Amino acid sequence: MDLPIDHFLRAAAKAPDRIAIKDGDLTLTHGDLAARVNAVAAALQDIDPAPQSRVGICGYNTVEHLTAFLGTLAAGKTWVPLNPRNGAEELTRMAEVTAPSIIVADADCMDRFDPGKATVVRGRPTGGSQHACGGDLNLAALMSDFAGRMPKRHDLAPDDVQAIKFTGGSSGRPKGVQQTYRVWHTCIDLMTRAFELDGDDRNLLAAPMTHGTGTLLVPILAQGGTQVFMPQPARPAAIIEAIEKDRVTTVFLPPTVIYMMMAEEDLTKRDFKSLKHVIVGGAAMRPDEIKRGLPMFNNALETCYGQTEVPQIVTVMRSRDWLNNDHRLASCGRATDRCDLRVVDPEGNFLPTGQAGEIVIKSELVMKGYLDMPDATAETIKDGWLYTGDVAAIEEDGFIYIKDRIRDMIVTGGFNVFPSDVEAVLGQHPAVKECVVFGLPDDKWGEAVQAAIEIHAGQPADEDEIIQYVKSRLDSVKAPKRVHFVDELPRSPVGKVLRREAKAQFQEA
């Protein structure tokens, strides 16, 4: 069976002199990178010969991280991404759930893992140096020791597990999502065709490789394209500079970062003619900001929809479908050709066009299941359909409009209110920088609509005026009963505003 990594290795064999990596003054060809990947894969197999054993990788966006990731795939092992931005307690839980036999970690992350439970390999040394340092088992030394060695090919099946990635946002025991080789092959195929990726693509690694950005790594390398690294953490001004300097074509970014880039004074003076794909991910971008941002980013804003359980590319919205169609600015696009997407009522019956219901998906993108959680898996996958927990409506032309998570819907005075509807209006207020809407228990209404808002610096803000602003644009029942002004909204390690954390904060207050 072909492995997902074979898409890259075949491309490297055909065109070894194409540039695979650009990291400051460091340039690596596809042939160079393939040699490093094979050496790392052979080293990982030497440390633990068992096929499908797990390799955790905890690091920022570095050449070492990318090489260890690709080497894990080439070794026939299961990748466990561990975002160093997560707290030590959360990383410990993830490591306990997955029990990796090997962990590759940046030097400043190594003390978060127990060397008695896994072989810990140093990735990038402290301070960003790319040179090996003595003492510990380190990636640079392994690449040198195993240079020229080829990894053993294991007899693997399409439904064997390529990666275990964790769902975000919920408390308690983390859910490890098992993504199979079948899922990865499907994702690579759909990402490549949906965004028409090619060998001229230069992908800027701004957002963490452990998340959505990671789904672009193999597809772009498989086309002969280039991964462009930048200093971490990636600041908005530095991303702008890198796009212009390195003639970037492709970048995956959360809305929060895009909003901050749009606030930079000289953005419209920059040369962004190289941009083809600014893929918005991790959360939905507000329709008004999409409209404002399209000309700023060379009309290259695009998006796709998926979950960890059915990754990334269930739907696709190309910039050409957003341009000159304000109604579609609220859409996440149409289902890709290897995904059957429907909406259902609470009893699981398919709903007709235009009616809102829960999104269910049948596709080769669907996960194998949650690791060691058969009951949770059975609740999520029913008769081959994955129940997403997202509410949406599908219009006649096939475009899909996501409302919200089912559990985030507010029932106030007997009416259903989707927070995203209110947030879309609040976001148009000139004083509002970022906002989140939620419901809190209320004796009169059952739940009362409330909003937490970050205000643009220097902008006046009045609670009553903002409430009236919403009432003038939506049904009054959807307007917030209270508005809370905050210096900073709670965010995930990848910048996504956390609704439930904000709700809990004001519920406790």
**Domain residue ranges in the chain:** 18-178, 235-405, 409-508
What local confidence, expressed as pLDDT, does residue 173 receive?
63
DSSP string, 427-473: TTSTTEEEEEEEEEEETTTEEEEEEEEEEPTT----HHHHHHHHHTT
Give dist(CA 80, CA 73) in Å, integer: 11
DSSP string, 319-351: HHHHTT-GGGGG---EE-TTEEEEEE-TTSPBP
Q: How many C-beta atoms lie closer than 10 Å to residue 207's C-beta?
A: 24
Give dist(CA 228, CA 209) in Å, integer: 12
pLDDT at 183 over 70: yes
What local confidence, expressed as pLDDT, does residue 125 receive?
82
Q: Find out whether 323 and 347 touch, Cβ atoms under 8 Å.
A: no
> Domain 235-405 falls in which CATH fold?
Rossmann fold (3.40.50)
Q: May I ask the CATH architecture of the domain 18-178?
A: 3-Layer(aba) Sandwich (3.40)
Give dist(CA 380, CA 376) in Å, integer: 6
Q: Which of 78-92, 180-194, 246-260 has the lowest mean pLDDT?
A: 78-92
Q: What is the pLDDT of residues 288-344, one digit of tens each?
A: 999 999 999 999 999 999 999 999 999 999 999 999 999 999 999 999 999 999 999
* Tokens 């962004």 belong to residue: 272
Supply angle C-alpha 483, 169, 442, rounded to 5.
35
Give dist(CA 280, CA 274) in Å, integer: 17
Q: What is the mean pLDDT of the chain?
A: 94
Q: In 3-state terms, what secondary structure has residue 296?
A: helix
Q: Find out whether 365 and 306 touch, Cβ atoms under 8 Å.
A: yes
* Tokens 């937490």 belong to residue: 452
What local confidence, expressed as pLDDT, does residue 168 receive?
62
Q: What is the pLDDT of residues 387-396, one digit of tens each?
A: 999 999 999 9
* Tokens 């490789």 belong to residue: 209
Give dist(CA 383, CA 387) in Å, integer: 10
Q: Residue 171 — very low, low, confident or very high, per pLDDT cuts 50/70/90?
A: very low
* Mean pLDDT value of segment 434-450: 94
Q: Which of 7-11, 93-97, 312-316 has the lowest mean pLDDT?
A: 93-97
**Half-sphere exposure of 203 toward its Cβ, with a 13 Å CA cutoff?**
31
Which pTM was predicted? 0.90
Q: Residue 172 — very low, low, confident or very high, per pLDDT cuts 50/70/90?
A: very low
Give yes or no on whether 235-405 and 409-508 have one common fold.
Answer: no
Supply angle C-alpha 177, 182, 185, rounded to 5.
105
Task: Return the higher-pLDDT residue of 496 and 215.
Answer: 215
Give dist(CA 234, CA 477) in Å, integer: 40
Please give the single-letter amino acid code of residue 437: V
* Mean pLDDT value of segment 118-145: 76
Q: Find out whether 131 and 140 touch, Cβ atoms under 8 Å.
A: yes
Q: Find out whether 142 and 125 touch, Cβ atoms under 8 Å.
A: no
Q: How many C-beta atoms lie closer than 10 Å to residue 408's C-beta?
A: 20
The length of the chain, given as a count of residues: 509
Cis peptide before 233 (omega within 30 of 0): yes
**Half-sphere exposure of 277 toward its Cβ, with a 13 Å CA cutoff?**
25
Exposed/middle/buried for 389, CB within 10 Å: 0-12, 13-18, 19+? middle
What local confidence, expressed as pLDDT, does residue 475 receive?
85
- The yes/no answer on whether domain 409-508 falls in CATH 3.40.50.300 is no
What is the distance between the terminal CA atoms of the chain, rounded to a whole angstrom? 56
Please give the single-letter amino acid code of residue 279: I
Bridge partners, 23 (sequence order): 26
* Tokens 């090619």 belong to residue: 198
Q: Residue 199 — very low, low, confident or very high, per pLDDT cuts 50/70/90?
A: very high
What local confidence, expressed as pLDDT, does residue 131 receive?
40
Give dist(CA 422, CA 410) in Å, integer: 11
Closest CA to 361 of 330, 397, 400: 400
List Cα–Cα distances, 1 to 44, 51, 78, 154, 280, in angstroms: 20, 14, 16, 9, 33
Q: Residue 126 — very low, low, confident or very high, per pLDDT cuts 50/70/90?
A: low
What is the DSSP-derived secondary structure letter of residue 372? Answer: T
